[in-house]
Structure 1
Amino acid sequence: MENFIVSARKYRPATFETVVGQQHITGTLKNAIKNNQLAQAFLFCGPRGVGKTTCARILAKTINCTNPTADMEACGTCDNCQSFQNGHSFNVHELDAASNNSVDDIRSLIEQVRIPPQAGKYKIYIIDEVHMLSQSAFNAFLKTLEEPPSYAIFILATTEKHKILPTILSRCQIFDFNRIQVEDIANHLSTIANRENIAFESDGLHIIAQKADGGLRDALSMFDQIASYANKNITYKAVIDNLNILDYDYFFKLTSFLTAAEVSQTLLLFDEILNNGFDGNNFINGLASHFRNLLVGKDNATIKLLEVSENIKQKYLEQCRQTELSFLLTALNLANTCDLNYKNSKNQRLQVELALIKMCHIRSVVNLAQQPLNTNNTATDGDQDKKKTNVVAEKAVQAESIKPKAESENAAPATVNIPKTEVPASIPLNTSSEAPRPVSMPTATSISINIPKKTAGTLIPSLNDFERNADSDDDGKPKAITGEAREVFSYDRLLEVWSNYVQILKAADKINLFTILNNFAPVLLKPELIEISVESKTQEHLIQQESVELLNYLRNELKNFGVLVTYKQVERKLENRLYGNREKYDYLVNKNPKLDELRRRFNLDINP
């Protein structure tokens, strides 16, 4: 039986012309040979399997070729080329630094450098995985690398350039190898398949190229594996079965279910995927990649970013025409959130299912935001009604921002009627494909909302946004609320309210905040602008975390919903005087009241 040679070795490039996907490297090297401008040391760096060692060997063979071609390729027939191809050349020395990384190995190499070549013009030393050399080995190599004999050329190859000493890098001409493009790998695999009389489908070769992640050697290894598995008939199904890859058809079918709000079909398909042995995290990442492909397919300028076969590309283009941009953006956000929370979730399957259910109702939420509000009745005044008014007003602004740009540019300030009836804390999810029914709102009051003529971009509401907006009347940022009470208050009234809030913090055992707000009195810069003094950015950050509760308390007690706060960093000035033990203790207790509890628990006394 004839010995089998893997494709990565059998079809390893022998000339610069046959190197795949590294034309910027091969072109530079050929010009350097042609102009006789060869550097004394080269550093080839890049990911695995992209041709670093291959290019080093081709360069070593070409510069010693006695009869190069017009485009600076080795002839392959002279004595030097023949001895190199047979592995008998005395002018090319390869060293694997992964296993020969000591000082003695480098010293042995330096001794060989002193011997000039017996045949040929140059002696070439190829050191693979050079980043594995020890610190002392690098130092021993420095002088020789900087001033080698005229006939010695060093070619270093590494996958981790950042691990090499800067003194080594400064002595080398550095070439960065790129990851090989999917299309280039697929074309190369098809060429090899034709030579080996292997039947193939283009879709299958594209899947192999994508799975290789830019490494041609990995692609050739998978190619050999699948050729054996499928008995020299590489089909799309054979590739996804052998490499355990989620089929594109799953994602196309799932997207159709999501856009049609078919929750039951979506969950059943996800269950089928799990039963086939696929991980939920890989699934949600694959779904996000599918949405990303649909997104880039919506613009002719970005279609080239679809690194798939022509057949699959047509499917993407067809589905992206049927899918709204708002759906894709919101679904991508939900998929990304699910991916971030997946590993920390105790019920990982439920985490994915919740994301899928939310995706099913994206259209329902957008449609609900676009529904016109009822304009028939009036509402009475009251703090609770005002909060509900703000929630619905925000939704009205969101609904207007979702409308087409041309319509919003011509819109004038509109008057909408805000319902008095309670707005639900969260919008119920519709588990069927039917459109949501309008909600009856019996009473409303009229307020004026100024809608901007130009919007910065399309506002895409998500399910989480509506739930968050319905549960609170503040988004966490201090801002004035149009239409609320704005009573004028005095500085004495502010100090009284401030003191009450500080005592509330103390009773709630929020000692850090109590200490910060108790150290400095607030300053009233303007009728509605309060300045808070802090001693550091850390203190400012602590107060900002409490800002929602602080603002709500101040606005309600002062009956002015336009109150805002700002921060000023100051240094505390202490009087230069002597303090007794009792004064020191009182000062510390004022900063941290728990100190007094500690003294009583241990029955300690204060020295006079």
Structure 2
Amino acid sequence: MSLANKHRPQTFDHIIGQGHITEILKAQIAGAKDSHSNYLFFGPRGTGKTTTARVLAKAMNCLNLSSGNPCNECVSCLTINKQSTLDYIEIDAASHTGVENIREEILDKVPYPPTHLKKKIYVIDEVHMLSKGAFNALLKTIEEPRDNVGFILATTEIHKVPETIISRCQVFNFKKVGKEDMTKHLQHIVKLEGLNYTPGALDTVVRISEGCVRDAIKYIDQVSILGDINEEHITKFLGIASESIIKNFLNLIKNKDRDAIFSEIDAINEQGVDMHNFAKQTLMYIDQYLSEDTDFLLAVSEIFTEILGTIKYYPYPAIVYKIAINKFLNPSAPVEIAIPRPVQTQAAEAKAETTNTKPVAQAGDSNLLAQLLARVDKPSLQKNLGEHIIIDSVEDDKVHIIVINKLTHTLLEKRENLEYLEKILSEVLNKPITLKVSFEKKEDYFGRKLTTNN
């Protein structure tokens, strides 16, 4: 059995980093206020949505509740834990997307009362993957809830779930698990497993898991095959660089010692570090320590953003690093990393020319972001924008952009970048545009939008 399954939380109290949700659910259950039949859990992957759904299902049916927590000893809890009852159904919407699937798995069975449990519970994971027809079929069931049936929906992309579904559910926003909670949880697991570990190794696992508990435990499980959980084994098994390696590499760049930098690139590559992940890790490190040396780290972040966007096109990753860093150390060097593009046929070129003659976008056009990105000719800035911004509103001569990444927000606060984007937007919308940029976490943004819409 994997460590993730072995140490899967069985009560609300064991779910980490989601106290703002579990306390409410416990209070509802303890106060016999679980009359709500429909729940919607949303948030990043690996943060406990499906686990919480299973615990909630047990609590709704438990015969010996303790302060809102399931006992895990009664027949109801045991059958749900073993998934040996027909009254607890977990459905993966990614592989059951169609209306026929919903009809077969749910609609045809909902009218029948539970066979063993007090309440029949349907957990639909990745619910945003359902087709429009499947959502419509599901809506007919959840808009008239039965006392003996409950639905718990889970998704990583709530913006793809129809408002008609959202409005009929209690909605809970799961967040990435913080560093402190994650570290304590991993320490608890490795001690229970009798594994030796170094604090630096756990810090690396916490950092690369990015708030995803499932990934963090999976990494521990994989590395434990080699014995101790230490930085050497982390690098060897996962291809992950320790924080000390990243810090040393950045110091070499700061000192502009090209020979030492190139030697270190070769050494890191030969150690088995995944060079694509190394660029990603370095950007995460920069984001974390940005305030300590803002100017240098902002400048060097453009190197790794460019590397991250181009490395997948090259069979020899070390040379991508050397070219990018050489260009950084010697800005006058003519060498550039170009993304290979397929050769266009004459017909394709003609089509492209035709496309470019389309009328400019209008305010509120859903394609505005795409048109903005198409005109940004700075690779590092384009990649950051493509992954980390949301156009929140377009009103008259003002465009409001939400940035969901601190590093990208800092880049856009630079006057030259802001003016550059304002110029592009003015060309796209055919009028002078003032750009407003705000930072907001992705989950907070969609949570706010959800609250506003409701």
Describe the superposition over 1:457-512 as per-residue Cα deviations: whole angstroms up to 9, x where unpaired.
Answer: xxxxxxxxxxxxxxxxxxx9xxxxxxxxxxxxxxxxxxxxxxxxxxxxxxxxxxxx
Which of 110, 117, 121 in structure 1 is aligned with 2:118? 121
Q: Verify: 1:100 aligned to 2:65, yes or no.
A: no
Matched ranges for 1:258-337 at <5 A: 262-276=257-271, 286-287=281-282, 289-296=284-291, 298=292, 328-337=293-302
Which of 34, 53, 56 in structure 1 is aligned with 2:53? 56
CA distance in 1, matches of 2:68, 2:430: 65
Whether contact under 8 Å (1:267, 1:353) holds in the other structure is: no
Q: Verify: 1:8 aligned to 2:4, yes or no.
A: yes
CA distance in 2, matches of 1:180, 1:92: 27
Matched ranges for 1:361-400 at <5 A: none
- Of structures 1 and 2, the one scoring higher in RCO (CA 8 A, sep 6+) is 2
Deviation (angstroms), 1:6: 0.5
Match of 2:366 in 1: none
CA distance in 2, matches of 1:80, 1:291: 49
Q: Could you tell me which amino acid in structure 2 is paired with residue 335 of structure 1?
A: V
Which of 243, 249, 256 in structure 2 is aligned with 1:248? 243
Whether contact under 8 Å (1:64, 1:122) holds in the other structure is: yes
Q: Could you tell me which amino acid in structure 2 is paired with residue 210 of structure 1?
A: R
Whether contact under 8 Å (2:258, 2:326) holds in the other structure is: no
Q: Could you tell me which amino acid in structure 2 is paired with residue 218 of structure 1?
A: D
CA distance in 2, matches of 1:245, 1:224: 15
SS in 1 for 2:123: strand
CA distance in 2, matches of 1:133, 1:537: 35
The 1:352/1:191 distance shift into structure 2, 3 A limit, reads same
Q: Could you tell me which amino acid in structure 2 is paired with residue 36 of structure 1?
A: A
Describe the superposition over 1:149-195 as per-residue Cα deviations: whole angstroms up to 9, x where unpaired.
Answer: 22211111122212211111111111111111233222212211111
The answer to which structure has the higher helix fraction is 2
SS in 2 for 1:200: coil
Q: Could you tell me which amino acid in structure 1 is paired with residue 77 of structure 2?
A: C
The 1:288/1:142 distance shift into structure 2, 3 A limit, reads closer
| Larger Rg belongs to | 1
CA distance in 1, matches of 2:277, 2:85: 49
What are the ranges of 5 or more consecutive residues in structure 2 without an aligned counterpart? 332-419, 421-427, 434-454
CA distance in 2, matches of 1:137, 1:355: 52
CA distance in 2, matches of 1:190, 1:288: 26
Match of 2:87 in 1: 91
CA distance in 2, matches of 1:103, 1:294: 49
CA distance in 2, matches of 1:85, 1:285: 38
What are the ranges of 5 or more consecutive residues in structure 1 without an aligned counterpart? 299-327, 359-475, 477-535, 542-608
Q: CA RMSD in A?
A: 3.1
Match of 1:133 in 2: 130
Matched ranges for 1:425-440 at <5 A: none
CA distance in 2, matches of 1:265, 1:275: 15
The 1:249/1:340 distance shift into structure 2, 3 A limit, reads closer
SS in 2 for 1:117: coil
CA distance in 2, matches of 1:105, 1:271: 52
Match of 2:398 in 1: none
Describe the superposition over 1:375-423 as per-residue Cα deviations: whole angstroms up to 9, x where unpaired.
Answer: xxxxxxxxxxxxxxxxxxxxxxxxxxxxxxxxxxxxxxxxxxxxxxxxx
Which of 159, 162, 165 in structure 2 is aligned with 1:162? 159
Whether contact under 8 Å (2:205, 2:219) holds in the other structure is: yes
Which is worse superposed, 272-281 or 144-153? 272-281
- The percent of aligned pairs where both chains have the same amino acid is 34
Aligned length: 328
Match of 2:414 in 1: none
Whether contact under 8 Å (1:101, 1:133) holds in the other structure is: yes
Match of 1:506 in 2: none
Task: Give the TM-score of the pair, scaled to structure 2.
Answer: 0.64
Which of 323, 333, 338 in structure 2 is aligned with 1:350? 323
